[in-house]
Structure 1
Amino acid sequence: MARPSSSALLKRIYLGAALGFFAVKGAVLLTNALTFPRLKPQPLPAKRPRVSILIPARDEADNLPRTLPGMLAQGADEVIVLNDNSRDDTAQVARELGATVICGAPLPGGWYGKPWACEQLGRAASGDILVFTDADVSWKPGALGAVLRELDDKQADLLSVLPRPERLRPSARFLTPLVDAVVLCYLPYPLIAWPYPSLSTGNGQLMAFRRAAFEQAGGYSAVRAQILEDTQFARRLKKQGGRLTLALGAEAVAVTMYGSYPASVAGFGKNSLAIHLHSRPLLILSALWHLAAYTLPWLMPTPLWLRLAGLLERTLVNLVTGRRTPLDLAEGLLGPLTPLLALPAYRRALGRQVTWKGRTYVQK
C-alpha cells in the first residue's frame, strides 16, 4: 500500500486539527446555550442591601446622555460618576443629568487608568453591593432587579455580565461582537463554579460585587497595573474563596462598545496580548491558526463542512445572546474575513506600548 505524500499527510493533519477545533468550540457553545444564565428584568426586592452604581467615565460626554438616565432610573441608593480627568464635558453632562459626580485624582505611578478610577469609586461608595458599569452600557427597566436576583440566586460574591451588543454601526460589526464569541466558545459556564482561578473571567462592562468580598480581595488596588483588570480581579476573588458567576445581559443590559472598525482595532489591540497570556509567540500562532481555520478553506479545495463551520459560528453565537435581526444573523458571513480584519489588532498588540483614551501603557 502506497504511503501518502507529504502534502497529503499535511492536509490530513490540517483537516484533523480543524475538525477538533470546531468540534470543541461547538460543544462549548452548545453547553453555554443550554446553561448560561440570561438576565430577566425584575422589580427591586422590598428588602435589599444598599446598592451603589459606580461609573468610571473618561471622555464620555457623548455616551452619558444615552445611558445615564437608564442607570439613574434603576432605583439604586446612589449613582456616582467619576470624571477621570476627561478632556470633554463629561462632568457637566453627568451633573446635569442628576448623577453625583466626583473628580478623579491624577493617575499615580504604577496604576492603569481604569483600575485607578474604580478604586476611587469603591472608596467613595456607601453601598453593600458595588456595581461597576461602563458609561457605554445601557440599563433597561428592571436591570438592577435582575442583577440582584442573579447575585442572590447563585449566592455569588461577584456577578459579571456580558451586555448584549446593540446599535452597532456597519463597520463596528467586523470585530466588536467577537467579545461574546470568545467567552461563549471557549469557557463552558458550568466550569465557572469550579474552584480553580484559571477557570474564571470577568467583564468590566458590568461587575457587581458584595462589598465584603470586594474588600477582602483587596479592591482594585490588587489589579492596579493590569490591562485585563476585570478577569484578573475575578481570578483573585475566586482564589480567595469567593464565588463567581456570569450572566448574559439579554433583555436587561446592552452595550454600544466601539463605534467603528478603527475603534474596535484599538480596543482589541489593547487587550489581545494579555488575553494570550502576555506571550507574543502565542499571539502570532493564534493569528496564523485563525487564518488557517477560517480564511484558508476559501482559498483552496477543502470539505464543505469546514467552510460551513466558519460561516455558522458567529451566527450561532448571536442567536445564543439574543441578537436575531437579519443583520445580526448575517454577521456569520464575515467568518472568512474576520482573521484578516483582526490583523491590525494583532499588529498593535505586538508592540511594546499601547495607547488607550490618551494614556500609554508599556506591555511586558
Structure 2
Amino acid sequence: MTVLWWVSVVSLLVWVWLVACHGGFWRTDQRLPAAPASGPARWPAVVVLVPARDEADVLPVSLPSVLAQEYPGPARVVLVDDHSTDGTGDLARALADRTGGLPLTVSTPPPLPPGWTGKLWALRHGVERAGDAEWLLLTDADIAHRPGSLRALVAAGEANGLDLVSQMARLRVASRWERLIVPAFVYFFAQLYPFRRSNRPGARTAAAAGGCSLVRRDALERAGGVAAIRGAVIDDVSLARAVKRTGGRTWLGLADLVDSVRPYPGLGPLWRMVSRSAYAQLRYSPLLLIGTVVGLALVYLAPPLTALAGLAGGARWTAAAGLTAWALMAGSYVPMLRYYGVRPAAAPLLPFTALLYLLMTVDSALQHWRGRGAAWKGRTYPQPQRAE
C-alpha cells in the first residue's frame, strides 16, 4: 500500500491547494459588477452581432429574446447568416417581422477564406456592418437573453470602466446527461481560468465566454480586430487575451439573465461539444495531453480509488487521505451544482464525470491526428489556425 499511500497524500495536498489557493475557482459569486440603477448619463450605441450557421432549430427561442431587449440608447441587431442550408436567414427575417423590437439586419459574408474559422469570419463581417457603434455584443445564435440583459451588460461596462464584459450563459440541464456533464463543464472551465483571477487587471489569466461577450469597439480595434484571432478555435479565451494584452480591462462571471437554449439530450451530443475543442485547448501538444491525462487521474480519479483500496486493504491512513481529498472535491463542486439547480447529493459523482472528460480529451486528440480536428456545422479545422 506504500504507493497508494503516497498517491493519496499527493492528491490530498493538491486538493488543499486548489480549494485554498487557486483563485477561489469553485465559488459562484462572480456576477455582473454593480452599476447605478439609473445607468450611465449617456447610453452608448450598441450593435448585437449574432453569427448563425444552420440554427433554424434554436432561433425561434433565442432571437425574439434579443430583439425584445429594451435599451435606452441606439441599438440594433446584425445576424450574420453563415451560408446556412436550413433557411436560417429567412427565418430570422420572419421572426423580426412577427415580433418587432430592435431593428434586424441579416447579412451573408463572402466565402470562408483559408486561415479563418467560420464563426470568426462571420463576426468580422458583422463588425464591418456595425458602423460606428461604441459597443458590440457578440452572442451566439443559441443564446437567449432575459429582459434587461443588454441594459445590465452595458451599464456594468460603463460604470466599471471595462473593455470586455462576458457572461458564462447558463447551459441547459434538462436531461440526465446534461445534469451530469454540464455543471462539471463550467466547473472545469473555472478551474482552468479562475474568474476572480481573470477579472484582476494585473493578472496574466484572461478568459471570456463566447456566448455572451460585450466588447468596446475601440478595444477590439486596439487588439487587432477579429483578424488577430482569426484561426482560434477557443475564440472566447483568445479574444479576452488579446484585449487584456493591449491594456484593456476584462470581466467574466456567471449569468443570471443569459441562457443557452441548445439541447444536449444524450451523451453523444455532449461528447462532441467537448471533444471538438478539447485538444485545441491543449494547443495540440502531445506533452500537454499526457500531462492532462495524468493530472486528471491524480486529481479526480485517485481520491475515490485510493479511498476504496485503503478500506478494502485495511490501510486506514490511505483511506482517510483518499476520503478527505474526495470530500474536498465534492464540497468544492456543490456551489456549481446549486447554481444549476442540481442536487448537491450528486457531488460525489464528479470523479466519474472527470473520467468521461478525460476520455473526451483523448478522443479529441485522436480525431485531430486522424485529420478531423475541431469539427462544427459541417466544417473541420484539422490543424491549428494561427494569425500571422
TM superposition score category, shorter chain reference: 0.7 to 0.9
The amino acid of 2:49's aligned partner reads L
Tell me if structure 1 keeps the 8 A contact 2:296–2:358: no
Asked if 1:313 corresponds to 2:307, the answer is: no
Distance in 2 separating the partners of 1:151 and 1:96: 32
Asked if 1:36 corresponds to 2:34, the answer is: no
- Return the match for 2:213 from 207, 232, 240: 207
Q: Equivalent residue for 2:67?
A: 72
Tell me if structure 1 keeps the 8 A contact 2:173–2:340: no
Tell me if structure 2 keeps the 8 A contact 1:43–1:145: no
Distance in 1 separating the partners of 2:33 and 2:89: 30
Q: Which runs of 4+ in 1 moved over 6 A?
A: 39-44
Bigger Cα displacement from structure 2, 94-103 vs 26-35: 26-35
Residues 85-234 of structure 1: matches in 2 within 5 Å? Answer: 85-98=83-96, 99-126=104-131, 127-186=133-192, 187-196=194-203, 198-234=204-240
The amino acid of 2:93's aligned partner reads R
Distance in 1 separating the partners of 2:156 and 2:253: 8
Q: Equivalent residue for 2:250?
A: 244
- Return the match for 1:342 from 336, 342, 357: 357
The amino acid of 1:193's aligned partner reads R
Per-residue deviation, residues 37-82 of structure 1 (Å, max 9, x unmatched): 3478978767300111110111111111111111111135111111
Asked if 1:323 corresponds to 2:340, the answer is: yes
How far did 1:105 drift?
Answer: 2.1
Sort the Cα spacing of 1:180 and 1:29 in 2 relative to 1 into closer, same or farther, 3 A. farther
Asked if 1:57 corresponds to 2:57, the answer is: no
Sort the Cα spacing of 1:309 and 1:363 in 2 relative to 1 into closer, same or farther, 3 A. farther
Per-residue deviation, residues 283-335 of structure 1 (Å, max 9, x unmatched): 2332233234333443422322123234333322233xx32353xx3442431
SS of residue in 2 equivalent to 1:175 = helix
Tell me if structure 2 keeps the 8 A contact 1:26–1:185: no
Q: Which runs of 5+ in 2 are unaligned?
A: 97-103, 311-318
Per-residue deviation, residues 343-364 of structure 1 (Å, max 9, x unmatched): 4421332133322211111235
How many equivalent residue pairs?
351
Tell me if structure 2 keeps the 8 A contact 1:154–1:245: no
SS of residue in 1 equivalent to 2:228 = helix
Distance in 2 separating the partners of 1:120 and 1:73: 24
Distance in 2 separating the partners of 1:69 and 1:226: 29
Sort the Cα spacing of 1:35 and 1:337 in 2 relative to 1 into closer, same or farther, 3 A. closer
Sort the Cα spacing of 1:96 and 1:46 in 2 relative to 1 into closer, same or farther, 3 A. farther
Distance in 1 separating the partners of 2:342 and 2:355: 25
Tell me if structure 2 keeps the 8 A contact 1:58–1:86: yes
Tell me if structure 1 keeps the 8 A contact 2:172–2:263: no
SS of residue in 2 equivalent to 1:37 = coil
Distance in 2 separating the partners of 1:157 and 1:90: 31
Distance in 2 separating the partners of 1:344 and 1:166: 22
Distance in 2 separating the partners of 1:359 and 1:242: 32
Bigger Cα displacement from structure 2, 187-196 vs 279-288: 187-196
Asked if 1:356 corresponds to 2:376, the answer is: yes
Asked if 1:21 corresponds to 2:17, the answer is: no
* Structure-2-length-normalised TM-score: 0.82
Distance in 2 separating the partners of 1:305 and 1:25: 14
Sort the Cα spacing of 1:194 and 1:236 in 2 relative to 1 into closer, same or farther, 3 A. same
Sort the Cα spacing of 1:120 and 1:330 in 2 relative to 1 into closer, same or farther, 3 A. farther
Sort the Cα spacing of 1:44 and 1:103 in 2 relative to 1 into closer, same or farther, 3 A. farther
The amino acid of 1:357's aligned partner reads K
How far did 1:202 drift?
Answer: 1.6
